[in-house]
Each structure stands twice: as C-alpha cells, then as structure tokens.
Amino acid sequence: MSSRKAALIVGAGDATGGAIARRFAREGYAACVTRRSLDKLQPLVAQIEAEGGTAHAFASDARKEEEVVALVERIESTIGLIEVLVFNIGANVPESILDETARKYFKVWEMACFSGFLNGREVAKRMVARERGTILFTGATASLRGSANFGAFSGAKMALRALAQSMARELGPRGIHVAHTVIDGAIDTEFIRSNFPERYALKAEDGILNPEHIADAYWMLHAQPRDAWTHELDLRPWSEKF
C-alpha cells in the first residue's frame, strides 16, 4: 500500500464535489472520487492530473453496502489511508406530498442519508484504529427547515445532520473530527445557470456560492487543530436571508 494520504469524495459532481477533490489534490492527497457513472468522472480526473495532482475514479453506488465496503477496502489496500471522507450526495428532488410516491421518497432517503451512514461507518472503522481522520457531511438549507414540496429531501437531510451530530459525539473523543456543513443558497452550477437564470445573474455580485470557496472551507475544517474543531459550518452568500 502506498504511504500517500487519500481523500475520498463520495458524490464528486461537476461543481462542489469536484472542487473539493481538486482542493485536496492540491494539498498532496490522492483524490478518490466516486459517482455511479465512471465516464462522468473522467474530466475531473484529467483536470486534477493536469494540475499536477493524483486522482482515482470509482463507479460505485453509495447506497449498496457491499459496494461501499469493497470501495473502502480497495482504496486502503491499493492507494493509501483514507484521512478524509467527504460525503456530498444531494438528492434534491422536489415533489408535492400529495403526489410523492413511497418508492421515490425511500430513494431520496437512501441517497441523502442512508448512504451517508454506510460510507461514514466504513471509513470510521479504519480511522478509529488510527485515532485520526476527518469526516465531512454536506448539508443544505433543508437540513434546518422543511420547505413546501421538499418533504423527502428535508427529511433525509435533517436525518443526515442528526447522524453527523451523533457520530461527532461518539468519535470526537477517539480522534475523529466529524463536521456538517449547511450550504444555504444557490451554487454556481450548470443546473442553476440553465434553470434559474435570474438567480444565476446574481453571480456578478457574489450572490451565489462559488464551489471553489466552498472547497476552501472544507479544507479549513480538515486542517483545524482538535482544540478548536468546528462541528457545524453554514455557508451562504451575503444576500441570502436566514
């Protein structure tokens, strides 16, 4: 096994997850990035390598226990010790509670909460043995309040927040820094640009979140000394109400 330190980013999308992977790669970590589709990860891997970093892409379904167990074992045995886990799966799918199906509600919970448990548990087992490590869960506005038409998403995100709190209280004394971020606002993504042009126009006045700046905050959390750990960090543009 290589002595290189690894950062596992589960849900390395084109915006926030990708920016986080690049940030840790710049700090010398092997960025291990996952999505269900391997092809969608190739541009990110190419970008990290072009910047002089190291990246490894994995097609993995974060909801499947056997795949999560195998992924963590593969990284630890062939790439390096996982020093950081970033769980960044969203599942932001709005639907009226009158039309919501049991199948879709359950799937949202699986993606945004249950998979956080599976990945957090598996990595924590390794970190506890070493008495060090960082586990970062990405939350959202829905982690704090349930909006109309977001029953499934809010329920899952609030549950993820509770999981993070419980893990922090259990694992903190054992050297593991567990933190939860509340990303409260629109992020500079292609989805926002295409579907909410009026909101995207606020980018010119720093009215939407820059993924690179979110990534800087994640690195800050990981780099904190344990006498001054942050458990919950909320990030929002200056214009966002709260």
> Phi and psi dihedrals of 59, rounded to 5?
-85, 115
Q: What tokens were used for 242?
A: 């709260």
The pLDDT assigned to 90 comes to 85
Give domain limits for the chain. 5-231
Q: What is the mean pLDDT of each run of 10 residues along the chain (242 residues)?
A: 85 94 98 94 97 96 97 97 96 92 96 98 98 98 95 97 98 98 94 90 95 98 98 96 86
Q: How far apart are CA 28 and CA 51, in angstroms?
A: 11
Q: Would you say 137 and 179 are in contact if contact means Cβ atoms under 8 Å apart?
A: yes
Report which secondary-structure segment, H or E, holds 26. helix 16-26
The pLDDT assigned to 1 comes to 52
The pairing of strands 30-35 and 176-183 is unpaired
Report which secondary-structure segment, H or E, holds 84. strand 81-87
Q: What tokens were used for 219?
A: 């690195």
The pLDDT assigned to 92 comes to 86
The pLDDT assigned to 144 comes to 95
Question: Which of 184, 185, 180, 183 minimizes the C-alpha distance to 221?
Answer: 180
Q: How far apart are CA 193 and CA 203, in angstroms?
A: 10
The CATH code for residues 5-231 is 3.40.50.720
Q: How far apart are CA 224 and CA 222, in angstroms?
A: 6
Q: Give the sheet arrangement for strand 30-35, strand by strand.
A: 54-59, 30-35, 5-10, 81-87, 133-140, 176-183, 232-235
Question: Which of 96, 97, 116 minimizes the C-alpha distance to 11?
Answer: 116
The pLDDT assigned to 241 comes to 87
Provide the 8-state DSSP code for 209. Answer: B
